[in-house]
Amino acid sequence: MERIADNIAKDFNISFHDENLLYEAFTHSSYVNEHRHLALQDNERLEFLGDAVLEVVISDYLFHTYKHWHEGKMTRLRAQIVCEPSLSSFAKECHFDQYIRLGKGEENMGGRQRPALLCDVFESFIGAVYLDQGIDAARAFINQVMITKLKEDAFSHVMDYKTSLQEELQKNGDVAIQYVLLSEEGPAHARKFDVEVRAFGKVLGKGQGQSKKVAEQSAAKNALESLL
Amino acid sequence: MERIADNIAKDFNISFHDENLLYEAFTHSSYVNEHRHLALQDNERLEFLGDAVLEVVISDYLFHTYKHWHEGKMTRLRAQIVCEPSLSSFAKECHFDQYIRLGKGEENMGGRQRPALLCDVFESFIGAVYLDQGIDAARAFINQVMITKLKEDAFSHVMDYKTSLQEELQKNGDVAIQYVLLSEEGPAHARKFDVEVRAFGKVLGKGQGQSKKVAEQSAAKNALESLL
């Protein structure tokens, strides 16, 4: 048991005052059900709390980072960041899958790799940090694990820049947006596409990629960066 | 304009460092659209933030208050507290309806009394307090305005105690729950019903009310209080 607390201290610089909270965060209800005599608490209450803490920390970050974005756009990006596929992959990066206390039945059914379960554990860990050390410690963890990725653009696979650009340009009425293929080069297995995006008779951005779709997203991203 | 800031200081003991935030919270998009030359910001970004702040403060309160409640039950109560009818009535109690800057069109269509609009303003005010003074000030406001009501049981009209009791009793399997009418007295316009609720061959609670429905809810509440 001590190993988990040590790993958490090493990886995230968080030393729990109450280590029971840490273990509660990693205790799935299936484990509690199979060990009733231990009278353990599963992680669902902590998940309830951590979910709300995560939401406010990410909202605060988006609010301060995208000062010119409207509410709808922040809400969409938040939904892309705080969603099961995203949180479950963060849980794995943090090695939380190794720490979970699972019942045998759930384990045999592959529960340890189940995205919904990993997502819950990620949120309950945040709930435990918040309870043990307050919102700033929870923010520091979220910052270290999630927001640095956001800054490195690791969310680009979930960001739809073409839709964002369209929304940005059409704020004051309809605008015709064109994606123009400038060139297409290279052998089939390493094709390279060059695209530019135009509106108002101007070139707004350029992008490259191994498919037309990727090159267009890249051009839209480039245009958004120069607009915002 | 100064009057609003004075009222807020008097009613909630909150003196804004940046009063622009306060006025932004009370600025509806319809007003911004009708006064484009003023280049105002509407309250929707603050609402995005305030919504998340409210969620975490209420979650924290429920977590600490109902230590034996499971996640599902806290989630249901949170949804009853943080919902449009509830928040719009708090907005009115705070006189926020009087402070909103609305466009003429929206005003003429009765926007000032529209629950969705009032609910948004309540959340954007919380967002403004959070930005200006941090989460503890937001918590103090929510505490003063909402949580004291919760303690006074002012949410009883939205609480479904019969369902809660059923969930509580059926945690470990099916249980037959009976509501028994003990008496029904008084003239038609002031009828009084006496009800008791039974399970496991025992009387769990008693309640009274001007209708059978109200008396049953009251009995369920009484039973819950003795169980939890």
In this predicted model, what pLDDT tens digit does every residue of B63-79 receive, in sequence order? Answer: 999 888 899 989 988 98
Shortest distance between the Cα of B100 and any Cα of chain A, in A, equals 19
Strand B192-199: give its sheet, edge to edge.
Answer: B178-185, B192-199, B202-209
Cβ separation A48–B63 shorter than 8 A: yes
Cβ separation A45–B75 shorter than 8 A: no
> How confident is the model at residue B39, as a pLDDT?
86
Q: Are A113 and A36 in contact, with CB atoms under 8 Å apart? A: no
Shortest distance between the Cα of A188 and any Cα of chain B, in A, equals 46
> How confident is the model at residue A158, as a pLDDT?
55
Instruction: Tell me the average pLDDT across B168-172.
Output: 80
Q: Which of A85, A117, A83, A115 is nearest to A100 (CA)?
A: A117
Side-chain half-sphere of A50: how many Cα atoms within 13 Å?
Answer: 29
Chains A, B: CB contacts under 8 A, how many? 57
- Dist. CA B184–CA B192, nearest whole Å: 6
- pLDDT band at residue B166 using 50, 70 and 90 as cut-offs: confident
Question: Chain-wide mean pLDDT for chain B?
Answer: 91
Token readout for A112 is 């340890």
Rounded to 10 deg, the angle between the B135-142 and B44-65 helix axes is: 70
Q: Which of A172, A128, A94, A120 is nearest to A18 (CA)?
A: A128
Shortest distance between the Cα of B3 and any Cα of chain A, in A, equals 28
Q: Are B224 and B163 in contact, with CB atoms under 8 Å apart? A: no
Q: How far is CA A196 from CA A182, A201, B69, B141, B211, in A?
A: 7, 12, 56, 50, 70
Percent of chain B predicted with pLDDT > 90? 66
Side-chain half-sphere of B93: how many Cα atoms within 13 Å?
Answer: 12
The second-level CATH assignment, the architecture, of A2-151 is Orthogonal Bundle (1.10)
Per-residue pLDDT at B156 exceeds 70: no
**Mutation for testing the A interface, residue in B58, B65, B67, B71 having most A CBs under 10 Å:** B71
**Mutation for testing the B interface, residue in A32, A42, A44, A45 having most B CBs under 10 Å:** A45
Which one is catalytic: A24, A42, A97, A123?
A123
Token readout for B138 is 């937001």
Token readout for B214 is 């109200």
Cβ separation A60–B47 shorter than 8 A: no
Q: Are A7 and A26 in contact, with CB atoms under 8 Å apart? A: no
Q: Chain A residues within 8 A (CB-CB) of chain B? A: 44-45, 47-49, 51-53, 55-56, 58-60, 62-63, 69-71, 74-75, 135
Instruction: Tell me the average pLDDT across B86-95.
Output: 94
Which residue has 């902590």 as its token pair?
A46
- Dist. CA B115–CA B86, nearest whole Å: 9
Per-residue pLDDT at B158 exceeds 70: no
- pLDDT band at residue B228 using 50, 70 and 90 as cut-offs: low
> How confident is the model at residue A154, as a pLDDT?
55
Cβ separation A56–B59 shorter than 8 A: no
Instruction: Name which of B48, B49, B56 is nearest A53 (Cβ-Cβ).
Output: B56
> How confident is the model at residue B227, as a pLDDT?
78
Per-residue pLDDT at B219 exceeds 80: yes
Q: Look up residue B144 and give its DSSP letter.
A: I
Per-residue pLDDT at B2 exceeds 60: no
CATH 1.10.1520.10 domain range(s) in chain A: 2-151
Length of chain B: 228
Shortest distance between the Cα of B134 and any Cα of chain A, in A, equals 11
Q: Are B95 and B7 in contact, with CB atoms under 8 Å apart? A: yes
A153 among known catalytic residues:
no
> How confident is the model at residue A155, as a pLDDT?
58
Which residue has 């702040």 as its token pair?
B53
Percent of chain B predicted with pLDDT > 70? 95
CATH 3.30.160.20 domain range(s) in chain A: 161-227
> Residue B16, SS3?
coil
Q: ipTM of the predicted structure?
A: 0.74
- Dist. CA B84–CA B165, nearest whole Å: 25
Cβ separation A52–B52 shorter than 8 A: yes
- Dist. CA A94–CA A96, nearest whole Å: 5
- Dist. CA A227–CA A103, nearest whole Å: 52
Instruction: Name which of B52, B63, B74 is nearest A59 (Cβ-Cβ).
Output: B52
Shortest distance between the Cα of B197 and any Cα of chain A, in A, equals 29
Using CA coordinates, name the residue in chain A closest to B70. A45
Residues of B labelled catalytic: 51, 123
- Dist. CA B214–CA B38, nearest whole Å: 52
Give me the CATH code for the A161-227 domain, please: 3.30.160.20
- String of DSSP letters for A14-40: ---SSHHHHHHHTB-HHHHHHTGGG--
Torsions phi, psi for B41 (to 5 deg): -105, 130
Beta strands in chain B (DSSP E): 178-185, 192-199, 202-209
Listed range (B51-60, B118-127, B132-141, B196-205) with the worst mean pLDDT: B196-205
Whether the CA torsion A153, A157, A158, A162 is positive or negative: it is positive
Instruction: Tell me the average pLDDT across B125-142.
Output: 97
Contacts of A58 in chain B (CB under 8 A): 52
- Residue A123 assigned to a binding site: yes
Instruction: Name which of B49, B59, B69 is nearest A49 (Cβ-Cβ).
Output: B59
Q: Which of A115, A139, A106, A119 is nearest to A14 (CA)?
A: A139
Q: Which of A135, A102, A137, A133 is nearest to A117 (CA)?
A: A102
> How confident is the model at residue B155, as a pLDDT?
57
- Dist. CA A121–CA A79, nearest whole Å: 18
> How confident is the model at residue A157, as a pLDDT?
54
Per-residue pLDDT at B22 exceeds 90: yes
Instruction: Name which of A48, A53, A56 is nearest B75 (Cβ-Cβ).
Output: A48
pLDDT < 50: residue spans in chain A: 1
- pLDDT band at residue B174 using 50, 70 and 90 as cut-offs: confident
> How confident is the model at residue B163, as a pLDDT?
81
Helices (H) and strands (E) in chain B, counts: 13, 3
- Residue B60 assigned to a binding site: no
Query: Other C-beta atoms within 10 Å of B59: how many?
Result: 24
> Which tens digits make up the pLDDT trace of B110-131?
999 999 999 999 999 999 999 9
Q: Are B158 and B165 in contact, with CB atoms under 8 Å apart? A: no
> How confident is the model at residue B192, as a pLDDT?
92
Q: Are A78 and A58 in contact, with CB atoms under 8 Å apart? A: yes
- Dist. CA B53–CA A58, nearest whole Å: 11
Cβ separation A63–B44 shorter than 8 A: no
A123 among known catalytic residues:
yes
